[in-house]
Amino acid sequence: MDISYIVFIPLIPLAVFLLLGIGYQKIQPSVSGYIGVAGMATSAALSYYAAYQYFFVSEKIDGVYQTFVEKTVWMNFTDTLHIDMGILVDPISIMMLVVVTTISLMVHIYSRGYMHGDQGYTKFFAFLSLFSFSMLGLVLATNLFQIYIFWELVGVSSYLLIGYYYTKTSAVAAAKKAFIVTRFADFGFLIGILIVGYYAGTFDFETLNAVNAEGEGLLLNWASSSFMGLSVMTWGLILIFMGGAGKSAMFPLHIWLPDAMEGPTPVSALIHAATMVVAGVYLVARLFPMYFFVEGGYALNIVAYVGGFSSLFAAVIALTQTDIKRVLAFSTMSQIGYMMLALGVSSYKGHEGVGYMASMFHLFTHATLYFCPKRYQNKALLFLGAGSVIHAVHSNYLKDMGGLRKYMPITNITFLIAALAIAGVPPFAGFWSKDEILVAAFEKNQLLYFVGLFVAGLTAFYMFRLYFGIFWGKNTKYHHEPHESPMSMAFPLLFLAIMSIVAGFIPFSEFVTADKVGFEAHLNLPLAAIAVGTGLTGIILAWIFYKKENDLAEKFSNAFGMFYKWTFHKFYFDEIYMFVTKKIVFNLISAPIAKFDKKYVDGTMEGIGNKTVIISEKIKGLQSGRLQDYAMFFVSGVVIIALVFIYLWTN
């Protein structure tokens, strides 16, 4: 298979970024929108073509999907340890190309209507293109260092997008928060990369993930060196996961995600749907053979439990939030946790790797279209639908909404479809991947299965709390009558809604699996029935509480008292982090160090400088300018040195 053209998929958004970034003052805003859309549409078309060529034209070898690599050495350290730049094509990179380009294209189209009239219109599309380039480069990376480079570029571009409204204090604070928290996590990621590279002697994914004919990792001797009871390689994998947990907003590195909603709604859809927050999931999936084989999958167990707890933690918080974008932010965190849980309970070969497949299926469908899988289409659709609502009522809060179904029929039906899909109602896309995740958890870890099942019920409840609160509930009197969004905003909603309906029927297990072989997945009817029943229970409860205006929700919130207050305030994690950073790190650690530095280090150096000046003032009189005086001092010095030398020699 010829893969040379695939390099243009990330390069086209890069070219658009450079064009719009350099010429933003000369390019008309309307033109810049079309340039951004055209560039992303071209990349998307190339991604679809690559997917078709890879899955349907290129033949398997011994029943295994091939891995294609084109790379060149960038930095050479040893015969095996070097940093390459290139592209790697395999099932998950092809899947992610389709996901990223599709969602990015929909966001570009949507942004033409949403950002219309904005002073930074051209700049906004330049930032979108930079973000898309960074994500596509990350997806195609051939080694750990290359993925780290694009990983940081994603961080930089997300900082620009979240802080796009730079005159807004909260947006600036949110951008800095996201940047600092993810940089802290990325420090662990970098250390993990160095550990893996040092002990394995390579950064290359193909070598790191190599598996023998017996289905075992080829380099298990990595685990021979130990530290604190675990192999050094396991520590390296845990640190790499730390980077993924930060980027994917896993507990306890989640605090940046809700605040990221301060960016424009298209940014929220882009970050939360298919790109930045799933980078951590993609990273673990990319290194899955290592996680599974090294030290019996110890690091993979950590992935599972962190994912499960994050999913439950975020779902509970989402129940009480009143800002619709923050509800969706915590929903994103919960669903990403779901994906991590699925990876953590997966094995490697055949149907035993159903967790890996289900995680990728959940990601793909939650985000995109081509093979129609399920879950990210749903999330993008929800964020874009939320954007349409906010665009209509000029508010993010549920208290300012209600009865919008009469004014916004397209947004109403598309939001309902997305809510049904994410709630796991058949035959919508969310049902299929969620069922596979629960099957994997049931077979591997029943504690995590019940966590996942409970989260499924909570998800259905808070999503329909959102739906009924926006489109039904009270008949709010609006100062300006809401109206349906323009076609540039409505088209992505309709497109993604259709995909959310049909996505689940694609046989995803035949395309993307841990061992690249594929298998035929079957519906586990008893577990599926339990999951559907749990979801429907959540929907019915939301219908009772929120379809019509009543005081039931207030009564129950009062009944939960302090716990409700904790969840509403996100368990005070922002306050805890602020206390730790300001009161402890800044006041108790940084301030004394700064005082010591200023008083003693700077004081010492300043004292030396001042004394030097004083001494110079005292001795400058020796500089008379008369040659005979200099000759006298020189001769006197020579005589003194000679006398001292003679004294020491004779004694």
Structure-model confidence comparison of residues 287 and 263, the more confident one: 287
Element (DSSP H or E) covering residue 577: helix 573-578
Q: Are strands 82-89 and 226-227 parallel, antiparallel or unpaired?
A: unpaired
How far, in Å, CA of 602 to CA of 598, rounded?
5
Closest CA to 341 of 439, 238, 208: 439
Q: Compute, in degrees rounded to 10, the torsion defined by CA atoms 365, 367, 371, 372.
A: 50
Q: In the chain, what percentage of residues exceed pLDDT 90?
A: 26
pLDDT tier at 461 (50, 70, 90 boundaries)? very high
**DSSP-based helix, strand, coil % in the chain, nearest 5:** 75, 5, 20
Tens digits of per-residue pLDDT, 307-356?
999 999 999 999 988 888 788 888 888 989 999 999 999 998 888 889 99
d(C-alpha 392, C-alpha 409), whole Å:
13
State residue 595's pLDDT score.
Answer: 86
In this structure, the strands spanning 226-227 and 230-231 are: antiparallel
Cα(46)–Cα(210) distance, integer angstroms: 29
Q: Are the CB atoms for 242 and 149 separated by under 8 Å? A: no
Q: Can you say how many angstroms the Cα of residue 231 is from the centroid of all Cα atoms in its chain?
A: 28
Contact (Cβ atoms closer than 8 angstroms) between residue 380 and residue 274: yes
Strand partners, 230: 227
pLDDT at res. 395: 67
- CB-count exposure of residue 458 (10 Å: 0-12, 13-18, 19+): buried
For the segment 509-534, the average pLDDT, to the nearest whole number, is 86
Residues 232-242 pLDDT 10s: 888 999 999 99
Report residue 197 as tokens: 């590279």
pLDDT at 380: 44
Question: Is residue 637's pLDDT more than 70?
Answer: yes
Over residues 560-578, mean pLDDT: 85
pLDDT number for residue 316: 93
The distance in angstroms from the start CA to the end CA of the chain is 90
Cα separation, 127 vs 17, in Å, equals 7
State both tokens at 558: 């009062």
The 10s digit of each residue's pLDDT in 350-390 is: 888 899 998 988 887 776 433 333 333 344 455 555 655 66
pLDDT at 97: 93
Angstrom distance (rounded) from CA 450 to CA 464: 22
pLDDT one-digit tens code per residue, 83-95? 888 999 999 999 9
What number of other Cβ atoms are within 10 A of residue 591's Cβ?
Answer: 11
* Of the candidate ranges 246-260, 279-293, 449-463, 497-511, the one whose mean pLDDT is the lowest: 497-511
Which residue carries 């039906």 as its tokens? 413
Query: Whole-model pTM?
Result: 0.83
427, 504 contact by CB (below 8 A): yes
pLDDT band at 9 (very low <50, low <70, confident <90, very high): very high
Among 204-208, 429-433, 483-487, the range scoring the smallest mean pLDDT is 483-487
- Indicate whether 485 pLDDT > 70: no
Alpha carbon distances (Å) from 217 to 68, 203, 206, 290, 346: 20, 16, 12, 7, 16
Contact call for residues 401 and 394 (beta carbons, < 8 A): no
Contact 277, 363 (CB under 8 A): no
Confidence of residue 615 (pLDDT cuts 50, 70, 90): confident
CA angle 390, 393, 399 (to 5 degrees): 90
pLDDT at position 557: 80
Helices (H), 252-366: 256-259, 265-273, 279-286, 288-293, 298-318, 324-344, 354-365
Could you count the other beta carbons within 10 Å of the beta carbon of residue 425?
19
pLDDT tens-digit readout, 177-221 = 888 888 889 999 999 999 988 888 888 898 888 876 555 655 555
The Cα-based distances of 427 to 251, 410, 433 in angstroms read 32, 21, 11
Task: Tell me how far apart the alpha carbons of residues 337 and 124 are, in angstroms, rounded to a whole number.
Answer: 30
DSSP letter at 404 equals: G
* DSSP H/E element including 454: helix 446-471
pLDDT tops 50 at residue 111: yes
Residue with the bigger pLDDT between 371 and 80: it is: 80
The model's pLDDT over 472-481, given as tens digits with 9 standing for 90+, comes to 877 666 666 6
Average pLDDT value for the chain? 83
- Residue 70 pairs with which residues in a beta bridge? 87
pLDDT of 17 reads 93
**Is the pLDDT score of 71 beyond 50?**
yes
pLDDT at 508: 81
Tokens of 43: 């990349």
